[in-house]
Amino acid sequence: MRYSLSALRVFKVVADLGSITEAAERLGRTPSTISMSLKTFEEELGVRLFQSERKARLTPTGQFVRDRANDILSQYERGIASMEAFARNQTGRVDLACVPSVATSILPRVLLHFRSKHPAVEINVRDADSPSVIEAVLTGKVGLGVATVRKSEADLEFKPLFKDALGIVCRKDDPLTRQGEPIDWDMVGERTLLGNGITGLIGSTSFTELESRAPIKVYNVLSLLALVRAGVGITILPRLSIPSSERDLSFVPLKDPLATRTVGLLSRSTEVPSPAAEAFARELWNVVDSSRSELGLENAVDV
């Protein structure tokens, strides 16, 4: 049985909104048309997708079908965008999701070099934390990702780019900046620690208790740094997150050898990259290799 993209889109919108009426308004159709499309879709599948006629809750099968529909529609929309870009400039398009520290420190260099060689390629960049980058790659929203992976995924290919240090980020007038050498965890034990997406990467038992007591967690880096500047607390971030031009904040290294992260290039293992994506990936590797010493990056070992 072949299911149309239209049927998948109708089902996904109803599942997301939990209402036939709202879905009809969103799609510009009548409620009766939406109801008929859902009924036909369920009959073709041979199983109920919603718990009741109100469509407010999905069955377990419905939840599974919604996830797969989302994957299919995301890949379809990205594929259409790539074809349209290729038709316009005969080159293509790159869709990339990237963690903020790399987006601000490495990506500008990559784009400068890449654009000089491939000026007609359309580039779509979104910055997000590592879990969001992984989700975007796995669901087909983007073709490439740059992030840290905590556990392997069956459909995810991870190629390590570099390893860098994590450290304490605090105000320049903070007493921690006067140590002159890497510090131990016990020196921050009484401080207000602001948790974030990076702190979960640290596998040190010495840090586990500190993290559990973090009263505030912030997942947007700009908001996180604003809180540190305001003196709300200190946080832990990669050295790359603090540019050399930063006037208000300092990066204080940690003695803990486990306070590191490995950043890599992500793609779907089942998807063949476009020529534009392959060219972009090569440029990324070249920039990372040429910038290791300047940015304090270590070679990464495959994980």
Q: From the CB of residue 229, how many other CB atoms can be counted at a distance below 10 Å?
A: 16
For the chain, domain boundaries: 5-73, 76-161+262-295, 163-260
Q: Is there a common fold for 5-73 and 76-161+262-295?
A: no
Which region, left, alpha or beta, applies to residue 265 given φ > 0 means left and ψ of -120 to 50 means alpha? beta
Give the pLDDT confidence of 126-170 residue by residue, as tens digits.
998 888 999 999 988 899 999 998 888 888 999 999 998 899 999
DSSP characters over 178-211:
GS-S-B-GGGGTTS-EEE-TTGGG---HHHHHHH
Architecture of domain 5-73: Orthogonal Bundle (1.10)
pLDDT band at 88 (very low <50, low <70, confident <90, very high): low
DSSP characters over 71-105:
HHHHHHHHHHHHHHHHHHHSS-EEEEEE-HHHHHH
Question: Under CATH, what is the fold of the domain 76-161+262-295?
Answer: D-Maltodextrin-Binding Protein; domain 2 (3.40.190)
Is 163-260 a domain of CATH 1.20.1090.10?
Answer: no
Q: Is the pLDDT of residue 272 over 90?
A: no
Task: Mention every residue, 6+ apart, whose C-beta is less than 8 A from residue 80.
Answer: none
Question: Which DSSP state fits 48?
Answer: -
Question: Does the predicted model carry a pTM greater than 0.75?
Answer: no
